[in-house]
Amino acid sequence: MTVVLSKEMQDLVGTIKHQGEILQRMEVEFGGFKDIEEKSQWDLIVDGIIGYSLQGSPRGRAAEMIRWANEQNPPVLALDLPSGLNANTGEALEPTVRAAATMTLALPKTGLRAAEKKVVGELYLADIGVPPELYSLAPLNMDIGPLFAQNQILRLG
């Protein structure tokens, strides 16, 4: 496994920086974008380039990585939502990852249902340990019951 970042490790902040540091301590291999362009054998590409904080169309290194991923043969698994997809409207900005499958976290984002299937692929919902009582608080006011009682990953479509 090789993790490729759209920014330099020292430029990361918050949760992303924390998770990167955990991977470094686990001695996970980090590579540059040049490294992935030169390597031709991949079994799976995991898209976590841009999350729900997308502001306008992807630019710079993130846009390059999205275009690269879309040109590859192995399937792409998008984490939470495909990079370049508007989480609220489902609008696929230019460029947007075309995922074989999307593993959304905690709750499906509204835009995933509105987006085209060729962008989202198969849709799954993963349990990330959110206590069920949090779903019942405003503004969600949801009673999810034993949503993940049978499995930590649910196929939504």
Three-state DSSP state, 63: helix
Terminal-residue alpha carbon distance, the chain: 28
Residue 117's pLDDT is: 95
Residue 34's CB: how many other CB atoms inside 10 A?
Answer: 9
User: Residue 140: is it exposed, middle or buried by C-beta count within 10 angstroms (0-12/13-18/19+)?
Assistant: exposed
Three-state DSSP state, 47: strand
pLDDT at 80 over 80: yes
Residue 118: pLDDT band with limits 50, 70, 90: very high
CA distance 134 to 128: 13
The DSSP secondary structure of 82-129, one letter per residue, reads -TTB-TTT--B-SS----SEEEEESS--HHHHHS-HHHH-EEEEE---
Residue range 128-148, pLDDT digits in tens? 988 888 888 988 898 888 888
Residue 37's pLDDT is: 64
> Under a CB-based contact definition with an 8 Å cutoff, are residues 93 and 86 in contact?
yes
What's the half-sphere exposure (Cβ side, CA atoms, 13 Å) at 153? 10
Q: How far is CA 58 from the centre of its chain?
A: 14
Portions of the chain given CATH number 3.40.50.10260: 43-155
- Single-letter amino acid, residue 14: G
DSSP designation for 10: G
Residue 6: pLDDT band with limits 50, 70, 90: confident
Residue range 15-70, pLDDT digits in tens? 888 988 999 999 998 877 776 666 667 789 999 998 767 889 999 989 999 999 99
> Under a CB-based contact definition with an 8 Å cutoff, are residues 83 and 55 in contact?
no
DSSP designation for 11: G
- Say which CATH class 43-155 falls into: alpha beta
pTM: 0.85
